[in-house]
Amino acid sequence: MANKVSKKLILVESPTKVHTITQFLDKTYTVRATMGHIIDLPKSKLGLDEENNFEPSYIVMRTKSKMLKEITAAASKADIIYFATDPDREGEAISYHLKNKLKLEKKETHRIEFNEITKKAVLAALASPREINANLVYAQQARRILDRLVGYKISPLLWKSIQRGLSAGRVQSVALRMICEREREIEAFKPVEYWSVIARLKGEETAEFNAKLIQVKGAKAVIKTKEEGDKIVSECISAEYIVRKIDSREKNRYTAPPFITSTLQQEASKKLGFTARKTMMIAQSLYEGVNVGEEGETGLITYMRTDSVRVSEDALAEVRGLIKDKYGAENLPEVPNTFKNKKNSQDAHEAIRPSSVLREPAAIKQFLNTDQFKLYDLIWKRFVASQMKGALLEVTSIDIAAGEYLFRATGNVIKFKGFLSVYDITEDKDEKKEGEEDETDSDKNPVLPKLSEGQKLILVKLIPDQHFTQPPPRFNDASLVKALEENNIGRPSTYAAIISTILDRNYIERLDKRFKPTELGFLVCDILVKNFPNILNVEFTAGMEEELDTVEEGTSTWQKVVMDFYKPFSESLSKAALTLGEMKKEADPNAEKCEKCGKPMAVKFGFRGKFLACTGYPECKSTKSIGGEAEETAPTGVVCEKCGANMILKFGRFGKFLACEKYPECKSTKSIGIGIKCPKCGGDVVSRRGKKGSFYGCGNYPKCDFITNAKPVAKACTKCGYPVTSLVKGKIKCLNAECKHEEEAKEDAPAKE
């Protein structure tokens, strides 16, 4: 009699993974998706036993009861159950809660994980299962409880002091504070004028080049006014220019490590213009699997939530072989390049790299949508470059005397390209410190002519140029992620969610791809900083991340971390309740009166900004906009395309828009995008209003006719790869007219309150 064949069930998080993994296995395996968390804290109440060390009371999420029934039915038919949720704290918690809920004592159960969704990786994981890691589960539970306490305890205080519906988050509020403090630095900044002088020179038989004035009478050249600059120019016109010193040296430029989550988000923002959220959504689709022709569906990159630069031996051998064959042995180091992880890195997963570097971007371009290709190409090139030799530059500087003035010309020549032949790292040029001098390219020379010391030069012209010191720029996706990482705020997997949360709450807004606090954001931030200084403290929040790491490492318990946090937090709560209660003043007797009932109007905040509401609510529901149909705010930093003046934010009857500050002389206006790129032309999708109500369309109309009634989201269709879909009543709907695919929306890890 033949042995009975065991039936096996594999549980993953995403339906895309189901399709990819199924094709790797035989028919004894069934693969089902949990669609994220199924078990979580209740939304309607705190869900924590405050008398018993905040023991959580988990329930089946209301939207997941049907999903649980389907998984329970599948588990009842299986002999072996494999939990293959994402390889992180959230994934471990999903497996733990699901295993307990399914009551599988009589079943054989295993936890498996893979860093990439390829046949080799999946089969290797099945061959080496493990137990669920309780420390990972407890670390996730500690974070969940801390976030729940902050959200459910502080938010009601904001309702009393400002308005209902507001919320606070343990980590997001710190990010909001960073953005608000940067904005106040910008507002307080006083620009300082300074001047530079560039000499355009040449030899008897050489090409022209630029040299910048660096010294006056042996001291650093500091030119504060136009008059000082004019005096220098008048004295330098008649001076004799002589080469005093030539310094030429070789400089090594070393390659960068492969991507981790934070660096991927930063580079995708700088090079591709992607938001952090968009980057992670596209990376998720590449990780979960794409149909690449004869190979079928396969994961193209390794797991995209990681803070480790470690690379497997197999991947190193593969990329070194490719470098030797494609770029030549002269670009291959004798031994693989190694990189150090940053402090506090968990090193649970490899760096972000292609699952196979032999799958070159050009070879699979036809199977990817535009954004998928751009991101895959970026990841592939960065990984290949990380294992190539460094570049060798020849750096030359020439000092030129003109009487008591000294000019300097600099130039760089690449002698050996090395990794630069594949990938060049984007420099953070716009993150200058407050008051730092503005940069100019007028004094830079890619190549300098051959000159000799003592040689006389010919002055072609002198160029005086006015500058002003610049304030620190507003954060964008790249610089905010960098700041969060440097300050140890949150974890790589949470950066995109942090930004999305404070945007969705209308605490900040995007202006020209940079973050500006709204008036509501400033108000919430100020109240939280005043009443909860520890919660809004960068060092305190970073310390909490380290405490959570100790739970994962097994050197501390989740109960201790929670209780250590709650003792000082509860004291702040008590004080804040009194302070905010006193702050809730009676209506101002001089306030504008309601036109309907005559009671004073009070300032309220909504998703479109400030407005006036009757204090007689709910008996009187009268409201009124502030400032009429168009209320001006401060300059936005956006330049008018017609006249070059600043654009300012205005509020019209159809919402916010940008208008030229020189109105009515210049009547140029510009719509404000919603942070989504048009799938047809790449322009910004904006909110519009027509005779039949609101809709969304391309900002390049009438050149581009993209239009949709449903609000688009930057999530690619899992069937056709169309880069934009919509979320309607819990379903993801493809906006490609030729596809129209629909699927249940994957519920992300529970939002951090």
**258-281: burial string, b at 16+ Cβ within 10 Å, e else:** bbbbbbbbbbbbbbeebbbbbbbb
Spatial contact of 410 and 400, defined as CB atoms under 8 Å apart: no
SS3 content of the chain, % helix, strand, coil (to 5): 35, 25, 40
CB atoms near residue 543 (< 10 Å): 14
CA dist., res. 312 & res. 319, Å (int): 11
Question: Residue 72 is encoded by which pair of tokens?
Answer: 């329970």
Spatial contact of 574 and 534, defined as CB atoms under 8 Å apart: no
**Phi and psi angles of residue 67, each rounded to the nearest 5 degrees, phi first:** -60, -40
List, as one string, the DSSP characters of 351-403. Answer: PB-BS-TTS-HHHHGGGS-HHHHHHHHHHHHHHHHHTSPPEEEEEEEEEEEET
E strands, 572-645, are: 601-606, 609-614, 623-625, 635-639
Spatial contact of 375 and 282, defined as CB atoms under 8 Å apart: yes
CA dist., res. 658 & res. 665, Å (int): 15
The torsion defined by the Cα of 628, 629, 632 and 638, in degrees rounded to 10, comes to 170
Burial of 25 (C-beta count, 10 Å sphere; 0-12/13-18/19+): middle
What is the three-class DSSP state of 640?
A: coil
> Is there a catalytic annotation at residue 303?
yes
Burial of 11 (C-beta count, 10 Å sphere; 0-12/13-18/19+): buried
Helical (H) or strand (E) element with 467: strand 456-468
Strands 508-511 and 456-468, how do they pair?
unpaired
CA dist., res. 252 & res. 391, Å (int): 6
What is the three-class DSSP state of 682?
A: coil
Q: Which one of 96, 287, 303, 507 is the catalytic residue?
A: 303
**Residue of 579, 501, 554, 541 lying closest to 146 (CA atoms):** 541
Spatial contact of 508 and 146, defined as CB atoms under 8 Å apart: no
Write the CB contacts of 122 (distance below 8 Å, at least 6 apart in sequence): 21, 24, 25, 114
Spatial contact of 178 and 481, defined as CB atoms under 8 Å apart: no
Which one-letter DSSP state was computed for residue 301? B
Spatial contact of 321 and 104, defined as CB atoms under 8 Å apart: no
**Amino acid letter, residue 747:** E
Which one-letter DSSP state was computed for residue 268? I
Cis omega (within 30 of 0) for bond into 635: no
**Amino acid letter, residue 342:** K
Spatial contact of 18 and 746, defined as CB atoms under 8 Å apart: no
List, as one string, the DSSP characters of 616-634. Answer: TTTT---EEESSTT----S
Helical (H) or strand (E) element with 675: strand 673-677
List, as one string, the DSSP characters of 657-671. Answer: EEEETTTTT---EEE
Alpha helix (H) residue ranges in 78-199: 89-102, 119-127, 134-161, 172-188
Active site residues: 303
